[in-house]
Every structure is written in structure tokens, then in C-alpha cells.
Amino acid sequence: MGRLEEGEQPQDVSRAKAALESLRQRTEQRRYLVTQPTPVDTPAEVRQLVQELQVHQIELEMQYEELLLAQMEAEKSRAQYIDLYEFAPIGYCTIAANGQLQQLNLRASQLLGAPRQQLLGRRLVLFVEMSSREPFVEFLQRLLSTGHRQTLTLPMRRVDNILFYARLEGMATSADLSELCCRLALFDVTEQYQAQQALTISEKRFRTLFELSEDGMLLLRDNRFVDCNDSVLRLLQLPDRKALLGQHASAFSPEKQPNGLRSYSLANQYWEETLLRGSLQFEWCRLRANGEPFWEEVLLTSIPEEVGSALVHASWRDITDRKLAEAERATQQQRLADAVLNAQEVEKRRIAESLHNGLGQSLYAAKLHLDHIQVGDDQVSQQVKAKIEQLLSSAIKQARTLSHQLVPTTLEDFGLEAAMRDICQICSSPALQLCCHVQTLPTSIPKNLQIAVYRMAQELTNNIVKHAQATQASLHLREEHGYLILQARDNGQGFDAQQPSFDGLGLSAIRDRVRLLNGTLNVESGAEQGTDITVFLPLVPGKLAAAPFPG
């Protein structure tokens, strides 16, 4: 028995086999009739008529066979059509002009939730949600009046009252020559509709947050503004969005940020970092429309997109008041640091004066009085006098040295550069060559800052002399980007800068001074590799922070 072709039904195959068997029988009968001779005494006219009838019969039989084969093909096509119609994953139905269901396939009956027999004759509008029945009626009217294909998406309810969303596509056609009907395709689009609704709600929430946020909200593509809310316009004091949209992210910014970098280049750098990291937070100096500068905290967030250029969401928050408060706090801290340093210097000056005017004068007077002591030629007395004079001279020298260290007269009389060179000259020796390099310094360095730099240079030099065991060392002092930079280098034995004990090498006092002055201290050293200590001190500690780097 042969394999059923796609779309064939068993009864169709049976009918086809029966028809073929009938054809075989008729063919045999025809062959028998044709081969039967007519009687000898049959007139010639009769024999000719019989032959003509036989030929005509054969022609009729052949035509019948052709019709039968055509009928079989038609039955096969009909079976395939029925198979496609009935078992298609799409609901198909035919409704009359009055909306009654005349025909529907299995999927349509499944969508409506009832057997086909119960649905035939019912009006399809009864399955449409009440709020959408009027649009459905208009949809049918358009189908019947225009004759063109129409589409409609609406909510429907099954027989068991379960809600689903369907997309209807249909055209009007004539069931016969007199009556119009509509052929409809029903697609279940519940999942797509729900996903679209969720997306719509999400977009609405985002738009609400975007528009009503007190912070400035913006969207950027290719690092250019494509949308913004009213808060951004208020921050920049712009009348409308036209002045901002399409501009580069560095628009309404000074040419350079306070850290010295060009705003355009820095904005491009932050854009690339955002795309790489997903988000980035930093501080930025921007200008209002009237040129007034203000500080903002910027948060960039990359929004993934399947196609097209990247989209980035930006939020701006005005932090000018906070920056001013920080600057005021830094100023207050600087005033406190100045007061502490002033108090230290006053105390050192008092001690120095006491040493010079008290102890130093007394020692010097004692030495003068020794010169008036009458001694004989006694060798021991001469030795005692010499020893006393030696001790007194040493004490006087130490008192002068201590007084000089406590009160830097060179700094007060000749300035910071001369004082730095004086330190190197005093501390140089045959065993240690100490060089001093001072570049051109600003003329308006605050007095307390000069004293602090001088004290740090003294301490760093003492560390080199006492601990480094170096043969060569140098002190460098320069101004760069608003900072005084003091650097001490040596080729000594070095130490492990990661060990907490290294602060005991005289750096603790320096670290405290640097902290009071809002500066930074960098130490690079290693065993047998020498030491490099760099101090960064802002010339104006109370100034707004000048480095809006990513947070």
C-alpha cells in the first residue's frame, strides 16, 4: 500500500483506487468490443456504423478518464486546502454582512473557547470587549464598503470570559453573486500587546522622571545633546532647548577646566570611559548663558542599544553651594593652620631670643671673665682654662646654631630662594655634595607657606644627613599649575616606603605640616635605591578644587 501524500485523506485514497479499478474494467471491455468482429452477413453500412460508434465510445471513455483524473486532482487539492485551513496556527473565519459566523477553523474555535458547532451562527461582536465593540463595527463597515484589506487590534473574551488580545485582518468577498461576506484572520497577540504595554508604561515613567526631576536630565548621542528637561534650561538660563540640542557635551563650558585640561578633549575622554565602564561620575565647571560659572556633579549612564550609535543618559546637579562651602571650610582650615604655625613660630622666636639674650650672653660673659683669671705657670691650670674655653665656645656655637634654626633670619632678610641655598650650603660636606635648584618663584607666596617650605626643606636635609648615608643629594623647588613643589633626592641606602615605621625617619612632622596646608606627600624609596620625596602645596589652599576627576 502506497504512502499517503501530504493533505490526502484515507477516504480520498479509497475513492481514487475504486475509480482506477473501474477504469481498468472499462478498458478491458472496450478492448473486447473493439476486437469483436461483426457477422459476415452484416451490411457494409452497418459495419461502418458500428466502427464509428466504437470509435466514438472510445473517445467518450478517454474524455471520461481525463475528467476522472481531473476530479482526483481536485479532490487532492481540496483535501490539502482543508488540511491547511483546519490545522493552521492562525484562526480563520467567515462572517456574514450582519456579523454572524458562517465558517471557522479549529484555531478560531480554540481562540473563542467553544466547539465549532456552538459558534456557528453567533455574532462575532459578542466576543469583543464592550469598550471595543464600536471600533469593531466600524471595522466591518470599512471592510464591506471599501473592499480593501483592513487591520484592527482589540481585546476579546472567550466563552469562559478569559481576556485575550487579537489582531484581525480581513477582506470582503462574495460568497455568491448576491451576498457579501468577510474573510477574517485572527492572530493571538496577547503577549506582544502586554510587552508593548509594559514598554509604554516604562517609557512613560522614564519620561515623567525625566521631565519632572529637579536635577538636569539629558540624553546624548555621539556625545551631543539630543534631549533635555526644563531643569537644564534653568541651570543654563536658556529660554528654550534649541540653543542646546545638537551641541557638543562641552558646550557652555570654559575653554579649559580648572585642572588645565581642554573641556572639549576632556568631555570626549569621559564619553569613551562611560561607554567602556557603563557609568561615570565626575565634577564639571560650566557657564550659564550670561557667562557666570557654576559647578555641577555629572553622572553619565550608557543605555544599551541593539543597533545605531550609543545613547547616554546624563544627570546634572548644581553643587556650587557645596563647593563654596568646601572652599570656605578649606579657608578656615588654612586660617587654623596659619594660627598653629604662627604660634609655633612665635614660641620658637621666644626660645631663640631667650637662648641668644640669656644663655648665649651668659656663656659669652663667662668666657670673657675666664680671660681675666690670673693663673700661674701651672700646666694643669692652663689645661683647665683651655678646656673651659673650648666648652664655652662650643656652647656659644650651639646656642647660635639653635637660635638660627628656630628663627630663619636668612629667610626673613633675603627670601625663600636664598634660604634654600643657605640650607644646602650649611649641610654640604666633603662626604655629601648637596645641590640646590630653585626655579623662578611667584613673588606673592604667603609668608606662612614660605616658612613651612623652609622648615620642610630643613627636615628633609637633616634626614639625608643623618640617615641616608648618601654621597650626592639635591633640593628642588618650583611652581607648577598653582602648586609649590618641593623635592628632595639622594643616592643613599633608601628604605621600604610601605613599612609603617618609615615615618620615624623624621617624616612625621613633614606629613603633619603637609596635611595642615591641604597638600600631598609622595615618597619613593627602596633598599639601596635612594630616596625621592616630593611635597605638593597649593599656593591658594582656599581656592575651589581644581581637579574634576571621575569619582
Lowest mean pLDDT among 61-75, 133-147, 251-265: 61-75
419 and 528 share a domain? yes
> What is the reported pLDDT for 37?
63
- Note the pLDDT of residue 173: 86
Asked whether residue 81 falls in the same domain as residue 98, the answer is: no
- pLDDT at residue 78 is higher than 90: no
What average pLDDT does this structure show over 470-477? 93
- Of 226-230, 282-286, 400-404, which gets the smallest average pLDDT? 400-404
Average pLDDT for residues 212-222, to the nearest whole number? Answer: 90
Contact 14, 79 (CB under 8 A): no
**Which pLDDT band, with edges at 50, 70 and 90, does 349 fall under?**
confident
* pLDDT bracket for residue 540 (50, 70, 90): confident
Strongest mean pLDDT among 56-65, 234-243, 324-333, 525-534: 234-243
Q: Which domain holds residue 139?
A: 88-194
pTM of the model: 0.44
Q: What is the model's pLDDT at position 79?
A: 65
Name the least confident of 70-74, 139-143, 196-200.
70-74
Asked if residue 168 and residue 96 are part of one domain, the reply reads: yes
| Rounded Cα distance, 299 and 270, in Å | 10
What's 136's domain CATH number?
3.30.450.20
Q: pLDDT band for 32, please (50, 70, 90 cuts).
A: low
Q: Are both 80 and 95 inside the same structural domain?
A: no
Please tell me whether residues 61 and 93 are part of one structural domain: no
Asked whether residue 438 carries a pLDDT value surpassing 60, the answer given is: yes
Instruction: Look at residue 34 in the predicted model and tell me its pLDDT.
Output: 56
Report whether 227 contacts 206 (CB < 8 A). no
Let me know whether 77 and 107 are in one domain.
Answer: no
Looking at residue 535, its amino acid is V
Q: Is residue 401 part of a domain?
A: no
pLDDT-derived band at 393, boundaries 50, 70, 90: confident
| Backbone phi, psi, residue 206, to 5° | -60, -45
* 290 located within any domain: yes
Q: What is the mean pLDDT of the chain?
A: 81
Cβ atoms of 352 and 402 closer than 8 Å: yes
| 279 and 267 together in one domain | yes
Q: Name which residue leads in pLDDT, 237 or 17.
A: 237
Lowest mean pLDDT among 27-31, 112-116, 520-524: 27-31
pLDDT at 89: 84
Q: What is the pLDDT of residues 141-158, one digit of tens each?
A: 999 888 889 999 999 999
**Model pLDDT, residue 112:** 93
Count of residues for the chain? 551
8 A C-beta contact, residue 412 and residue 447:
no
Asked if residue 374 belongs to a domain, the reply is no
Q: At residue 42, does pLDDT exceed 50?
A: yes
Report the pLDDT value the prediction gives residue 275, as an integer from 0 to 100.
92
CA nearest 216: which of 191, 182, 244? Answer: 244
What distance in Å separates the CA atoms of residue 182 and residue 55, rounded to the nearest whole number?
Answer: 50
Count of structural domains within the chain? 4
| End residue of a domain, out of 318, 340, 360 | 318
My answer on whether 135 and 225 are in the same domain is no
pLDDT for residue 209: 80
Task: Tell me, yes or no, whether 94 and 77 share the same domain.
Answer: no
- pLDDT value at 4 more than 50: no
- The stretch 164-189 carries a mean pLDDT of 86
Mean pLDDT of the region 84-113: 88
Give the confidence band of 362 by pLDDT, cuts at 50, 70, 90.
low
**Domain end position, chosen among 49, 68, 86:** 86
Q: Which alpha helices (DSSP H) does 355-472 contain, by range?
A: 361-371, 379-406, 409-414, 416-427, 447-463
Higher pLDDT, 408 or 510: 510
Q: Which of 14, 218, 183, 158 is nearest to 102 (CA)?
A: 183
Q: Write the pLDDT tens digit of every residue in 238-297.
A: 999 999 999 999 999 999 998 889 999 999 999 999 999 999 999 999 999 999 999 999
Question: What pLDDT score was predicted for residue 307?
Answer: 64
Cα 87 to Cα 101: distance, rounded to the nearest angstrom: 18
Are residues 503 and 520 both part of a single domain? yes
Provide the percentage of residues in the chain whose pLDDT is more than 90: 37
- In Å, what is the CA distance from 485 to each residue of 80, 456, 482? 91, 11, 10
Query: What single string gives the DSSP state of each residue in 325-354?
Result: HHHHHHHHHHHHHHHHHHHHHHHHHHHHHH
Same domain, 109 and 155: yes
Distance CA 210, CA 201 (A): 14
Highest mean pLDDT range out of 30-39, 143-152, 281-290, 462-471? 281-290
- Is 362 among the domain residues? no
Where residue 540 sits, what CATH number does that domain have? Answer: 3.30.565.10
pLDDT for 455 equals 86
Write phi, then psi, for 6 (nearest 5 degrees). Answer: -60, 125
In a domain, 27, yes or no: yes
